[in-house]
A = this chain, B = another copy of it.
Amino acid sequence: MNVAVLLFDDFETLDVFGPVEILGRLKDHYQISFYSFLGGLVKNQHGVLIQTENINGLKNGADIFLIPGGYGTRREVDNVLLIDKIREISQLSKFVFTVCTGSALLSRTGLLDGKSATSNKRAFDWVTTQGKNVNWIRKARWTKDEKFYTSAGVSAGMDMTLGFLSDIHGIEFARKVAFEIEYDWAENMEDDIFYEQ
């Protein structure tokens, strides 16, 4: 499967590189590429400068289209051209993943209307205003509704990605990957220890 990661300035570091660690190490199954609206170097507030391809290279969609969160989403929800691209690519893709406030961007396309989704705890109230017809679930490590996987804040993207591996390859496969990266995977999408805090 090809995995296309959308980047924009001020994306959240771990939203991207948690899932990339997990899928990237499975080279026989997943190949990862990074895209941005114009291509070239994309930066964030953590000092990361990463090379990307132009999003027009995704005109056929991807097997997995990953949309991270981060401060940049506050700006990009109003970027009509980017939201149109996200809608187009998401429609063509086999699976769409969002991490953290990435679900705000996806909800702006309308594609999550009537579907279940979640997001970062601390930005939850803002995110829900971006998609008023979405069934927002506050207590969830991640959600799955048809082809759409959405996760809670930052680290939860890793649990969601392991959950996806479990759905596709079986739970023992996912557990083996979690063990290899010594990650204490929250196996149940409804186990959300941050909900009460």
Q: A residues near B, CB below 8 A?
A: 12-14, 16-18, 20-21, 23-25, 27, 31-34, 41, 44-51, 120-122, 152-156, 158, 179-184, 186, 193-194, 197
Contacts and interface: CB of A to CB of B under 8 A. Distances in A.
17 contacts: A14-B17, A20-B47, A21-B46, A24-B48, A25-B46, A27-B45, A31-B47, A32-B47, A34-B49, A49-B51, A50-B50, A50-B51, A122-B180, A153-B181, A155-B182, A179-B194, A179-B197
Nearest to A5: B47
From A48, A50, A51, A156, residue with most partner B Cβ within 10 Å: A48
Contacts of A27: 45
State the copy count for this chain.
Answer: 2
A50 B48 contact: yes
Nearest to A71: B25
A193 B197 contact: no
Contact of A154 (B44, B46, B183): B183
A154 B182 CA distance: 6
Contacts of A14: 17-18, 21, 181
A41 B47 contact: no
